[in-house]
Amino acid sequence: MHDTGVDPDEPATSDDAAGPGDAIDAGSAADGREAVDAEPTRPAQRRSATRGRHAKADTGATPRPVDATAQMSSTSAPLDGPVPSPLDPQAPSAEEPGQPGDDEPRKTGRRDQPPSAVPGGIPAPTTMVTPAHASVAGPAADLPQEDERPDSAARESPDTQLGPDTQLSPGTRVGPGTQAFPGTEATPGRTGAPASDSAATMRTSGRSVRTALSRPAVRKLGAGLVEIPTVEPADPRAAVLSNPVVAEGKRFCWRCGSPVGRTSPTHPGTTVGTCDNCGAPFDFRPSLHPGDMVSGQYEIQGCLAHGGLGWIYLAIDRNVSDRWVVLKGLLHAKDAEAQAVAMAERQFLAEVAHPSIVKIHNFVEHTGSDGTTVGYIVMEYVGGRSLRDILDSYPRPERLPIAEAIAYVLEVLPALDHLHSIGLTYNDLKPDNVMVTEDQVKIIDLGAVATIEAYGNLYGTRGFQAPEIAKTGPTVATDIYTVGRTLAVLTVDMPMEHGRYLDGIPDPADHPVLARHEFFYRLLLCATDPDPARRFPSARAMSAQLAGVLREILAMETGVEHPQLSTVFSPQRAGFGTEELLGQTDAYADGVPRSTKLSAREVALALPVPVVDPADPSAPLLSAAVHPDPEHALEALDDARERAAADPDNAPPNLEVELRFAEARVHLDRGEPAAVTHVLAGIPAAARDWRVDWYTGLAELVELDFEKAFARFDAVLNVLPGEIAPKLALAATAELVLQHWDSPDPEQWRAYAEKFYATVWRTDHGVVSAAFGLSRQLIAAGRVDDAVHALDEVPATSRYFTTARMTAVLLLLTAAAPAELDETTLHFAAARVQALPSNEHRAVQLRLLVLGTALAWLQAGRTPKRPDATLLGEPFTERDLRDGTEAGLRTLARISPNRTHRYALVDLANAIRAQTWF
């Protein structure tokens, strides 16, 4: 990279910067990656499978018996009309390369009711069933539906180098962009967070590398769900800079941040001198050269990059198998304060040991020719490509495939969780600091690592760093923010200004990837919420939600379910909505009409509930209070509260909060929504989390306050975007609005119900309630084939498998008026009925439905294509259909529990009996 002398506040050309964060002087080294000196900144639904002719929705769609006098209506009953009695024979049936400043590290200081469920009867879709229905029968029907730079592995990505925005502030800073906020400099007794711009590199042997034949062409990340291309190995020597010179535009005083060593009208630029502003000395020359032996062990091969604390060197460890290593030195070796910062860095790095974090091998000192002793950190060499390199291989506005980007980040989150577990924060996550190697994904450059809530000088990158870090210091929440920003940059063409990414997440209306993947968008919003208290509480929690979002995306893109066991919700406690359509045929047997509407209470009792974290200190006491009887459960909870009060010193600090959540669940099971609300009101504001919204939403559901419940469940989804439970709750609530309320915007509610049901079902076929709910929404939209597909996907191992198959028969036969049905549909439905188990008590009812519909079809003037056609094993003639219907009615009469209904069934059988001359 050539020195252009470009003003740091002006966009640079492709010749003076390699991308966001200012590239190193000679490209992007895959090894020894570090952020270089940069410009200064002041701290501050699937496709429809419907085939054939589409008929207008039959608004009655009710199971139809036939009459004896050929008076069967050729049309279905109105949708909102009464259910026809089966007894009535008359009843009807990255910043572009070359722009400096993009994501540069900076240092900051501290501080209509659906037809599917109308009382009038079974809904009638508008789609005709055609011979193509043969494809519907299968149980596994589908519901919805880099130019690599040749030297990219040997060059350093722009933002992996410390630019001015990552350099030390007063007392330790390198450029103005990294100055500490006033009053946040390190003070005696309070150690500032060290900024060891470590050039993290993955270990590759100095003697050999793996051959291409020894590696698979692809590998899988993201819990083994996403295929990732294998990164080709590169010779580490190719990353060595041939002319290690810091460009003039990247020379800043380490103390005050003023430009130094620049060419002026009166004198040429220089790499050695004194700052005109504060008098601090500077020296941008490498202190080590090829062939130098450091500590009698590390043979220097050359410079890889220049960072905020100095040059980064490639070396060979002659004492350990000639392995490649990286040495990171101190830029201002003669400055005692800068030396102290580097030494303090060891306290942090020595504790870090994780497979996804660059390894720190050693800490050594080397005495130069001038007698000055300089300390060096020895790190593993990490070969491969950074995510910035991979991202830059895509022409804008194209970004990484969303599943691939998520898979990379899922590999990084455990590393951040490890840092948090030992009291550290990473502070500078961005694409430049994530390396994809031959074997794994690693985060490099530990220069911004600091203790949680540390005082003093902090580091980060503009466009990635959390806005509140100046007030709060580094926290888990600030790291979560950087993860969200990194995900956004990898997947969305983020807007930029003056070489940095603008804050916020773009509008989905302007970015198709966000519009298509709503729950990914919600995840980004949660991770980057301006309020740190509303972000994911931990890297592990974010990882669980991100994995859930990934599975939903893969299910959408592949058509294959990708279920995930929730760590925060129980499984669905019961099914709901599985009998609302099929149950109407039970009126044939007992004469009792059934409601087609969902029951809000049944839905509330069927939905999942939050589970207690096994690691929670309150878990043992809460587990002991679990009891199937609500009364006993409340007594057990009271006992737990009394035991805690008797020994407050040993009681978990959050016990009272957890007891209240447990009480809320018991009151919900007892059908006491007011008690649920009362119990939750006693939880302090500081201890309230998404569970308050969940239980309150369930209580409001029972009270039929559907819009408020919907808002509660939506709030839960905002913080748990990868969970199935809130989506199922939202779908059911939207359907309840359609069924029980006269909504001014029924289509919007129907769209909600279909969207959420579809997401749940295609992701997890174990949630069968979603299949039935989706089929009801599709039927309401006239998409019969899609509705049948959804029901056919119910697994054969499910207890609802036969119910789903029978419901599909019902949908096929009520798709339109009998005269408008295709003959193939009748045969297809008949074949399904014949395949029912011999012990299925509804088989007679379904058989009657097929025979009655076929008889009405013949009476409407339709004839079979073949004169010898059969239906249900008998000739497809009016006489035989009448005989079969009569026999079925008499069978129902024999088993009917109601005497009056038995007489009515016999009378109906007599009326339908075929007339003879004898």
Active-site residue numbers?
A: 428
Alpha-carbon span 624 to 411, nearest angstrom: 37
Q: Can you list the alpha helix ranges (DSSP code H) found in 369-448?
A: 387-392, 402-421
Q: Sign of torsion, CA 769 753 739 569?
A: positive
- Residue 175 CA, distance from chain mean position: 38
Q: What is the CA radius of gyration of the chain?
A: 35
Show the tokens assigned to 170.
């007063």
Name which of 78, 55, 177 is nearest 125 in CA terms. Answer: 55
Block residue for tokens 């079925």: 888
Phi–psi pair at 594, nearest 5 degrees: -115, 150
Name which of 89, 84, 88 is nearest 61 in CA terms. Answer: 84
Q: Looking at 319-452, which runs of residues are DSSP E strands?
A: 323-328, 360-367, 373-380, 385-386, 424-425, 434-436, 441-443, 450-451
Name which of 111, 22, 35, 194 is nearest 478 in CA terms. Answer: 111
Residues in the chain: 918
Name which of 902, 849, 860 is nearest 93 in CA terms. Answer: 849
- Mapped onto helix, strand or coil, the DSSP state of residue 315 is strand
Q: Is 52 left (phi over 0), alpha (psi -120 to 50) or beta?
A: left
Alpha-carbon span 377 to 362, nearest angstrom: 6
Show the tokens assigned to 501.
């990414």
Alpha-carbon span 771 to 801, nearest angstrom: 11
Phi–psi pair at 806, nearest 5 degrees: -70, -40
Exposed e or buried b for every residue in 476-488, given b needs 16+ CB within 10 A?
Answer: bbbbbbbbbbbbb
Show the tokens assigned to 884.
């079969």
Phi–psi pair at 324, nearest 5 degrees: -75, 140
Residue 232 CB partners (closer than 8 Å, separation 6+):
153, 212, 438
Alpha-carbon span 909 to 596, nearest angstrom: 27
Alpha-carbon span 586 to 791, nearest angstrom: 20
822 HSE (CA, 13 A, CB side): 17
- Mapped onto helix, strand or coil, the DSSP state of residue 526 is helix
